[in-house]
Amino acid sequence: MALTQWSIVSLLLILSIKVKPISTFQSIIQMTPEKETLLAAEGISGKRRGVDLYCESWKFTVETNDAGSWTRIPERCCDFVKEYVTGERYVSESEAVADNEVAYAKSLGFSGDGKNAWVFDIDETLLSNVPYYAVHGFGTGDSKSEIWFLGDNDRENQKRETRSEIFDEVSFDNWVDLAEAPALSASLRLYRELQELGFTIFLLTGRSEFQRNATESNLLYAGYTNWKRLILRGDSDQGKLASVYKSEKRKEIEDEGYIIRGNSGDQWSDLMGFAVAKRSFKLPNPLYFIA
């Protein structure tokens, strides 16, 4: 009898142990305190990993538009952004987007009536201004003219110091006038593939009409040719949000009978609004935000 009672108690104990994990189930995807402690215990390299993790997550929110209208790169992510846009990951991620665009374009199988259009943004889409930012500091921007650049370590003192300066529109326009911005290699490959497939290419930029000649020269210098139309902000477009201005111009393209099959841009304002393309492709850009 005593043995039977012991067996029942043992059975209840076993059941209670098996039930407990179900009642206290937690996601395995979480940053446990133990892991945070581990990073801290690893000293500088651990801190660096912690910063990189934070900045990776911040960049994710930027690229997915979860960050909304942002004006500054988090100070601790300044070096992360600089290393990103000058490193192989920027190239690799741009190539990955281009691969998807090419695959989509090839899947359409349309007839060559010239009415299948693809719209490209220019800055940080076809052309890279990273050489400019490398000289003037890597930075962030808001939707208007006040753009802050953060950057430049004080190498002499080995401090991870961040400096900031207000965006200098004159110096950036001088850079545009030089017409020496290189192509983003992934975009140039895509551009040429789309032309071979028979797409009609429209270039839709936030640059202004007075920059038309320099922009055309730069596009040719970088290897882009035979676009259908280069659309820049005219007098009546000044002051409009990019998302409004670009939507209006896409609508005009559609009203001419074109089907905008694809749209490539580094800002969500290149892609959203109305008259949106059948597929929109967001290229990476953690440097600045344009509404």
Query: Which chain residues interact with Mg ion by CB under 5 A?
Result: 121, 123-125, 266
Shortest Cβ 129–Mg ion spacing (Å): 9
Tokens read off for 228? 């259908």
Query: Alpha-carbon dihedral of residues 122, 124, 127, 133, nearest 10 degrees?
Result: 130
Shortest Cβ 215–Mg ion spacing (Å): 12
Shortest Cβ 267–Mg ion spacing (Å): 5
Shortest Cβ 125–Mg ion spacing (Å): 5
Q: Which is nearer to Mg ion, 11 or 241 (CB)?
A: 241
Q: Please, which residues bridge with residue 166 across strands?
A: 148
Q: Which is nearer to Mg ion, 152 or 232 (CB)?
A: 232
Q: How do 259-265 and 279-282 pair as beta strands?
A: parallel
Q: Which is nearer to Mg ion, 200 or 269 (CB)?
A: 269
- In our burial notation (b when 16+ CB lie closer than 10 A, e otherwise), range 16-50 reads eeeeeeeeeeeeeeeeeeeeeeebeeeeeeeeeeb
Q: Which is nearer to Mg ion, 101 or 121 (CB)?
A: 121
Q: How do 200-208 and 259-265 pair as beta strands?
A: unpaired
Q: Which is nearer to Mg ion, 200 or 267 (CB)?
A: 267
Q: Can you give the length of the chain in residues?
A: 291
* Residue number with the smallest Cβ distance to Mg ion: 123
Q: Which is nearer to Mg ion, 200 or 285 (CB)?
A: 285
Please name the residues in contact with 108: beta carbons below 8 A apart, sequence gap of 6 or more: 116, 261
Nearest CA to 223 out of 190, 200, 199, 197 is that of: 190
Q: Please, which residues bridge with residue 127 across strands?
A: 123, 183
Shortest Cβ 241–Mg ion spacing (Å): 14
Shortest Cβ 48–Mg ion spacing (Å): 30
